[in-house]
């Protein structure tokens, strides 16, 4: 029995209209069979997800309600039910368990394990900084889940950050196993550019070409997620899905070390292998890949440290925002050289400016977004995200502030590449403090140089 609280103007609603109105906030769906709906928690391409209570067991679950445009297609509904039932057979600590598949008054839905946390996309969007060890640990756990699915002849087909959950306790859970098959069988899923772009960033070449796929396509997709965790961006970016698919099929990805110089060669090599254009050149199954990843973790000593939480990382990134002088210019320094940072800090403080310090590229980009500096002093050879990569992200996100690039290298080819990124000046280390101070005065007109007074 479906029950609801009506907020729509019309006093009478058909059952399928209830979900339509609920998605627009005009009606609140209250009950589906054994499940009492509490609130909406997410919306995706296939349907709306609600937090609910399963009354018979008195436990919280997530209920996904199929969208009307799919519910009206009986062939799609049959595929949806078949794939959901197959996924329900996957019992693994790193897979979100499906508990129930049902239909109530023409509303198709399934209930699954509720995860208190966020998906990996939100993790990346919030710029919670993951170490190389933590990134590797996530990939290993997803690979373990894929191994079980492959043993049951199941392919995920849509491995991407949105389908990888991180619980509040730090556990990794893969969701929507097999359900992408329903979407990919529906022509409308390919024609909606806004919907498909989230998947084509991670789509294997053979999948983009419409060929038959196997578990090696999931391995390719996981390689692209691994790349993004370490680089801060997907390997291929484009304005249209077809251009991204073209790059997956025909172009080599950039080296992950271009964006993160701290990545060990062993990890760079396994990402290249996972993202091989030809499936025969990738690890042939998830169990093989799992062995490779475990071996890399041991040989490189990349066990994730215990007790390092998302809250700890967030607090690290926001420490430099404290005690800012209201109204004073803000200067963000992105440099891993602590001695240089102290010199920068003393000179800039003497000029009446706020100083914000980041010691690697990822933290620097995060603070750039949060503090909106007037001037950024950027070392071009930063760890965890190179200065060039930081500038690329600055351009794509249109972050404000003038930029001075500092480098200890006289490699003018590198300098020339940087000059195309719209920077305001350069400093070649070591430099005279007098030159440094004058450059800041030029870029921040009107600031008070208290030392001159």
- Left, alpha or beta for 30 (phi > 0: left; psi -120 to 50: alpha)? alpha
Report the chain's mean pLDDT, rounded to a whole number.
76
Give the model's pLDDT for residue 419. 58
Alpha carbon distance 390, 392 (integer Å): 5
Residues 321 and 250 in one domain: no
Q: Is the pLDDT of residue 49 over 60?
A: yes
Q: Which whole number is the average pLDDT over 389-394? A: 80
In a domain, 309, yes or no: no
Residues 344 and 399 in one domain: yes
Residues 409 and 363 in one domain: yes
Give the model's pLDDT for residue 66. 79
Collapsed DSSP state (helix, strand, coil) of residue 417? helix
Residues 49 and 159 in one domain: no
The one catalytic residue in 137, 158, 218, 366 is 158
Mention every residue, 6+ apart, whose C-beta is less than 8 A from residue 23: 40, 43, 48, 67
Collapsed DSSP state (helix, strand, coil) of residue 49? strand
- In the block, tokens 């949806």 appear at 80
- Enclosing domain of residue 165: 117-300
CA distances to 38, 96, 294 from 139, in Å: 33, 16, 10
Active site residue 335: no
In a domain, 306, yes or no: no
401 vs 192, residue with greater confidence: 401
In a domain, 453, yes or no: no
Provide the domain count of the chain: 3
Residues 159 and 90 in one domain: no
* 134-181 pLDDT, tens digit each: 899 999 999 999 998 888 888 888 899 988 988 877 889 998 775 555
Residues 366 and 257 in one domain: no
Q: Sheet holding 164-167: strands in order across?
A: 117-119, 164-167, 172-174
- Residue 333 and residue 356 in contact, taking contact as beta carbons nearer than 8 Å: yes
Give the model's pLDDT for residue 284. 93
Residues 237 and 326 in one domain: no
Domain containing residue 46: CATH number: 3.30.200.20
Domain edge (last residue) among 268, 300, 332: 300
Q: Is the pLDDT of residue 281 over 90?
A: yes
116 vs 387, residue with greater confidence: 116
Alpha carbon distance 329, 431 (integer Å): 23
Q: Is the pLDDT of residue 221 over 90?
A: yes
Residues 76 and 150 in one domain: no
């Amino acid at each position: 029995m479906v029950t609801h609280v009506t907020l729509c103007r019309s006093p009478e609603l058909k059952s399928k209209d209830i979900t339509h109105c609920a998605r627009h906030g005009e009606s609140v769906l209250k009950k589906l069979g054994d499940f009492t709906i509490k609130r909406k928690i997410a919306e995706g391409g296939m349907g709306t997800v609600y937090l609910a209570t399963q009354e018979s067991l008195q436990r919280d679950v997530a209920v996904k309600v199929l969208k009307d445009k799919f519910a009206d297609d009986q062939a799609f509904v049959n595929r949806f039910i078949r794939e959901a039932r197959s996924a329900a057979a996957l019992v693994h600590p790193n897979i979100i368990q499906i508990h129930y598949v049902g239909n109530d008054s023409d509303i198709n839905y399934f209930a699954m394990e509720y995860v208190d946390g966020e998906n990996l996309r939100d993790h990346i969007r919030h710029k919670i900084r993951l170490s190389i060890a933590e990134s590797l640990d996530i990939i290993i756990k997803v690979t373990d889940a894929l191994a079980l699915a492959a043993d049951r002849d199941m392919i995920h087909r849509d491995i991407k950050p949105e389908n990888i959950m991180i619980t509040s306790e730090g556990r990794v859970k893969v969701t929507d196993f097999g359900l992408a098959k329903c979407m990919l069988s529906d022509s409308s899923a390919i024609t909606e550019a806004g919907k498909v772009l989230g998947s084509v960033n991670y789509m294997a070449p053979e999948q983009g070409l419409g060929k038959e796929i196997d578990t090696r396509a999931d391995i390719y997709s996981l390689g692209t997620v691994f790349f993004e965790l370490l680089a801060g961006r997907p390997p291929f970016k484009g304005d249209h899905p077809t251009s991204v698919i073209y790059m997956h099929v025909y172009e080599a990805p950039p080296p992950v070390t271009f964006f993160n110089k701290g990545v060990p060669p062993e990890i760079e090599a396994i990402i290249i292998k996972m993202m091989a254009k030809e499936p025969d050149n990738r690890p042939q199954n998830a169990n093989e890949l799992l062995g490779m990843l475990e071996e890399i973790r041991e040989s490189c000593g990349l066990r994730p440290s215990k007790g390092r939480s998302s809250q700890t990382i967030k607090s690290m990134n926001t420490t430099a925002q404290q005690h800012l002088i209201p109204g004073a210019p803000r200067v963000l320094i992105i440099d891993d050289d602590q001695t240089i940072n102290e010199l920068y800090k003393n000179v800039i403080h003497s000029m009446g400016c706020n100083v914000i310090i980041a010691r690697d590229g990822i933290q620097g980009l995060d603070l750039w977004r949060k503090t909106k500096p007037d001037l950024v002093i950027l070392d071009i050879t930063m760890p965890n995200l190179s200065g060039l990569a930081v500038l690329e992200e600055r351009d794509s996100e249109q972050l404000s502030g003038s930029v001075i690039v500092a480098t200890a290298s006289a490699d003018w080819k590198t300098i020339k590449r940087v000059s195309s990124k719209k920077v305001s000046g350069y400093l070649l280390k070591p430099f005279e403090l007098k030159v440094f101070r004058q450059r800041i005065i030029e870029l921040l007109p009107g600031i008070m140089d208290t030392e001159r007074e």
